[in-house]
Structure 1
Amino acid sequence: MTRIKGFFAQTSFMGSAALLASSTVLGQGLVLLVQPLLTRIYQPADFGWWALYGSILSMAAVVINLRYEQAIQLPKEEPEARRLLVLAGGVGLVLSALIGLAFWLFRGIFSAWLGFSIPGWFAALVGVGLACIALMQAGSMWALRLAQFGVLAQTKFQQGLWQALAQVGLGLVLKGPGGLLLGDVLGRLGGVQALWRLWPRSLEGISWPALFQVARRYRSFLFFGTSAALLTAASFHLPFIVLTAFFGTAAMGQFGLSYRMTTIPVTLVAQSIGQVFFSRAAAARQTPELARLTAQTATTLLALGLPIFGALFVVAPQAFPLIFGPAWQEAGLYARLLAPYLLLSIVAQPLSTLLTVREWQKALLIFTVLELALRMGAIYWGIGTQQMYWAVFLFAASSALVAGLSLGLFFRAAGVRWGDFWSRVRPFVWLNLPILLLLGGLGHWFAGWSLLVWAGLLAGAVLVWTLMQLRKGGLQ
């Protein structure tokens, strides 16, 4: 990791983001590289269990710290921020234990609702996974406050490394989905271990009255932020649980693989840039700099996402069975459906912290109610067709609509004008449109690996040109 730190200067926005992204690329790149091996070790139904586990964790993760970790960036004085860190971490561990116990005790009820039995070990891993997430979320925000981007980079790399090695190794000795889930937990433990050295070693100034004081001061994060975050998570992950209940773990495994693999670019870019953006936006929240920073970040993300997801839209149906095996052709069709949504999502996700920076918790809560209604309405409409393909299509279409609407809300929070944003992104849009048409035409002449090579070369050339234009435009 010291070599990675040396490559990127941490004083600039893009230098810090590049440091985080490079380590995420290394960590998640290992996860990506072992996927073709995992799809041959495990069955689609095993991936369905992993998708179900991930959806449960993701829904609970957004409220596990009661959103107090989001406030760690805001206090001017470090003692107050340290109390928020202890509050967020302590609340997270207690709630992890309670949720894990409740899930284990009532797994029979959940089994009846899903239509298949949930084993005890699956329920136990829910609590363990949530405890890791609670510590990572609080620790990551503390690292951001300290501008310890190198430690965050190590966290991302170590989590990916531990997960990749554990899932492959356990898959060779365990049958069923246990290896995937245990490997997931071990990866999260690797991330916690990397962050642990930044946690304060002294509890000076930490007392129950002091913790109650900061809990009261930032109670809007608890009352409005928690509700909004839970609704947002439900709109993203409840459809996975519902689809599993109606179509089974095998069908969910296909969709789960396509969703996981196509969101890797979002994870690599959006989370890395988003964390640095949050730090910069919190510092600029009362200045005109916030609008410029937001427009620049959105332009960068859209420009980088256009060639990636454009190529994915064209080649996904052929790429998935080639890379992961012939049993995964259905996953390629789902990946194509997800591509437009992911393009908008890669822009909107990092900017979502603007509502936290501006303390617009009420607006966030109202919007997430609409978000949940749109997504769940689309899912149940798709279930009514009794075809997984149409359920995924409607989920992707509603998600794209939500991402577009949320982008408008974020621009309003930052004071960004749509006309100014369009003038920034127009050159990149006009370049990518003919490239997308060219790729579609090549699909009639080439197939298999030849098409993938052509798509990679064209997307890579556009990405290089995009980076040059962004740097020429003064990207920092």
Structure 2
Amino acid sequence: MASLIGRIKGFVQNDLVRAVGLLVSGTAIAQIIFAVSMPVATRLYSPGDFSLLALFTSIVAIVSVAACLRFDIAVPIVRSDEEAANVLALALGFATLVGGAALALVLLVPKATADFLNHQAFEPYLWLLPLGIVAASYYSALQNWLVRRRAYHGIATNRVIQAVAAAAIMIGFGYFNPTPTGLLLGFAVNSGAGFLGLGYRFLRADGHLLRSVSWTTMKTAFSDNMRFPKYSTLEALFNNASIYIPIILIGSFSPRAEAGYIILAMQVMQAPIGLIGSSVAQVYLSRSPEEYYAGRLDVFTAKMLAGLLRFGVGPLMFAGIVAPDVFAIIFGDQWRPAGELVRWMTPWFIAQFLASPISMALHVTGNQRGALLLQAGGLVLRAGGVLLASAFFANLLSETYAITGFVFYLVYLHLVLKVTGCTLAATWRQSTHVLPILGLWIVAGFICMAIVSAAVGLS
């Protein structure tokens, strides 16, 4: 008994476990707050409003991920704090330039911009795009500074604050003025407005490092980290474009509000992914450089992947099984199609959940060129698949999107394992109990589905 207690105590006190625990707890609280607000939001806003949200989030995600020229992800990787401060300045500077360009575009040619997107109803809301782009970009850069400092408590606290603010904006606007403005603004706040809090934490703890920032040192930092804008910017752009351009295309091709169903399905399924996956990714990014330099990246990657297999895949499978009836009950019967889409998307989300948290290994090992080629191929596969389906299988646009996503992330996972030297056998040795756990989740899913279906049938 004493031995068991000692092992549990050692597990809890492990630095890696504590780091993931802090981030997971903060993300969990934020996801719960946001999840509670969504059934209210789906009754205040229509699927058509959510289609505009799909367009907004797609554009912000595509542009903001490249706005910092990927100097944001270099912040925790470079060796000295002085260089990191200059890299952070580069990231914020380029994000400001991109945000300014977006503002000029939506102010000078709003109608032409809406016509280009083939969403004329979006014109009154174009002013929100620069706000969303700048907020998300700044947040990414400053969050990675806290990752560098391993200040996980600050990141977790910020996530909760963002979720509360976003939920209040969505519900408040929706109740008093049910137009898409509140929905779009709420998601902009949820994705990036926390940069204000992160900026305050940076200035309070590390503001003295700003004295090391100058044009000369920034130029040197730019040159020394050229691989990030050269390879990683296009890679990230292709990655997000492969996810979101098909949504924009589906919104244009589909006569119904299918893009709205997709974005709700993605938001719900991103909850378990965000709960564990993004937290593991940040810890992986903060620890992987030293593990790589020490020659232990393969073992470290196997441990992280084993944890993802053990604790995250089962809940995703459960969600995919019960989704249609549960969506209809929680969000309203008009949202049942979103639940049906979740079933199609579940294999994609499982593969993404396993690949994304450890994908930073491509940058740590200097394989930016391979990552770029992979993401370019993913864009061609996924956007091309939707375009092909629009010509021959117009009623299967979303299903095609889900299948191509699954194929892409399987290839992605294979590449990450290859560059780290991690094998599936090594991962499996640390995940020997995963099959019974997954089996229990599947059985529980079918039992829950039967109970919910029976209850719906009796009502």
CA gap 1:448/1:53 in 2 versus in 1, 3 angstroms: farther
Given that residues 52 and 240 in structure 1 are in contact (C-alpha distance below 8 angstroms), is that contact kept between their aligned partners in structure 2?
A: yes
CA drift at 1:131 = 1.1
- Which residue does the alignment assign to 1:417? 423
1:194 to 180, 194, 197: 197
- Which residue does the alignment assign to 1:379? 386
SS in 1 for 2:366: coil
Given that residues 318 and 448 in structure 1 are in contact (C-alpha distance below 8 angstroms), is that contact kept between their aligned partners in structure 2?
A: no
- Which residue does the alignment assign to 1:59? 62
- Could you tell me which amino acid in structure 2 is paired with residue 422 of structure 1? W
Q: Does 1:235 align with 2:242?
A: yes
Bigger mean CA deviation after superposition, 71-80 or 139-148: 71-80
CA drift at 1:423 = 3.5
CA drift at 1:345 = 1.0
Q: Provide, for residues 234-273 of structure 1, a one-character-per-residue CA deviation record: whole Å limited to 9, x for no partner.
A: 1011111111111157221112111111111111111111
- Could you tell me which amino acid in structure 2 is paired with residue 86 of structure 1? A
1:109 to 102, 109, 112: 112
Cα distance in 2 between the residues matched to 1:272 and 1:76? 22
2:34 to 31, 35, 49: 31
Cα distance in 1 between the residues matched to 2:257 and 2:452? 31
SS in 1 for 2:82: helix
Given that residues 326 and 452 in structure 2 are in contact (C-alpha distance below 8 angstroms), is that contact kept between their aligned partners in structure 1?
A: no
CA drift at 1:385 = 4.2
CA gap 1:106/1:306 in 2 versus in 1, 3 angstroms: same
CA drift at 1:421 = 2.1
Q: Does 1:432 align with 2:438?
A: yes
Given that residues 110 and 118 in structure 1 are in contact (C-alpha distance below 8 angstroms), is that contact kept between their aligned partners in structure 2?
A: no
2:142 to 111, 131, 139: 139
SS in 1 for 2:433: helix
Bigger mean CA deviation after superposition, 81-90 or 109-118: 109-118
Cα distance in 2 between the residues matched to 1:405 and 1:60? 25
1:68 to 63, 68, 71: 71
- Which residue does the alignment assign to 1:22? 25
Matches within 5 A, 1:358-373: 358-373=365-380
CA drift at 1:113 = 3.8
SS in 1 for 2:78: coil
CA gap 1:95/1:111 in 2 versus in 1, 3 angstroms: closer
CA drift at 1:430 = 4.5
CA drift at 1:286 = 2.1
Given that residues 306 and 431 in structure 2 are in contact (C-alpha distance below 8 angstroms), is that contact kept between their aligned partners in structure 1?
A: yes
Bigger mean CA deviation after superposition, 84-93 or 432-441: 432-441
CA drift at 1:39 = 0.7
Given that residues 302 and 346 in structure 1 are in contact (C-alpha distance below 8 angstroms), is that contact kept between their aligned partners in structure 2?
A: no
Q: Provide, for residues 358-406 of structure 1, a one-character-per-residue CA deviation record: whole Å limited to 9, x for no partner.
A: 1211111111121111111221232224545x21111111111111111
CA gap 1:264/1:216 in 2 versus in 1, 3 angstroms: same
Cα distance in 2 between the residues matched to 1:363 and 1:92? 25
SS in 2 for 1:284: helix
- Which residue does the alignment assign to 1:466? none
Cα distance in 2 between the residues matched to 1:373 and 1:72? 30
- Which residue does the alignment assign to 1:314? 321
Q: Provide, for residues 69-126 of structure 1, a one-character-per-residue CA deviation record: whole Å limited to 9, x for no partner.
A: 1111222221111111111112111211112322443443343344331555422111
- Which residue does the alignment assign to 1:303? 310
Cα distance in 2 between the residues matched to 1:269 and 1:450? 32
- Could you tell me which amino acid in structure 2 is paired with residue 262 of structure 1? M
Given that residues 105 and 113 in structure 2 are in contact (C-alpha distance below 8 angstroms), is that contact kept between their aligned partners in structure 1?
A: no
RMSD: 2.2
Bigger mean CA deviation after superposition, 325-334 or 249-258: 249-258
> What are the ranges of 5 or more consecutive residues in structure 2 without an aligned counterpart?
1-10
Bigger mean CA deviation after superposition, 242-251 or 12-21: 242-251
Given that residues 42 and 177 in structure 1 are in contact (C-alpha distance below 8 angstroms), is that contact kept between their aligned partners in structure 2?
A: yes
Cα distance in 2 between the residues matched to 1:114 and 1:205? 43
Q: Provide, for residues 129-158 of structure 1, a one-character-per-residue CA deviation record: whole Å limited to 9, x for no partner.
A: 111112111101111111111111111111
Cα distance in 2 between the residues matched to 1:119 and 1:416? 46
CA drift at 1:356 = 1.1
CA gap 1:302/1:214 in 2 versus in 1, 3 angstroms: same
CA gap 1:303/1:133 in 2 versus in 1, 3 angstroms: same
SS in 2 for 1:263: helix
- Which residue does the alignment assign to 2:159? 156
Q: Does 1:400 align with 2:414?
A: no
Cα distance in 2 between the residues matched to 1:342 and 1:278? 21
- Which residue does the alignment assign to 2:6? none
Given that residues 107 and 123 in structure 1 are in contact (C-alpha distance below 8 angstroms), is that contact kept between their aligned partners in structure 2?
A: yes
Given that residues 86 and 217 in structure 2 are in contact (C-alpha distance below 8 angstroms), is that contact kept between their aligned partners in structure 1?
A: yes
Bigger mean CA deviation after superposition, 70-79 or 188-197: 188-197
- Could you tell me which amino acid in structure 1 is paired with residue 407 of structure 2? L
Cα distance in 2 between the residues matched to 1:250 and 1:180? 16
Given that residues 381 and 391 in structure 1 are in contact (C-alpha distance below 8 angstroms), is that contact kept between their aligned partners in structure 2?
A: no
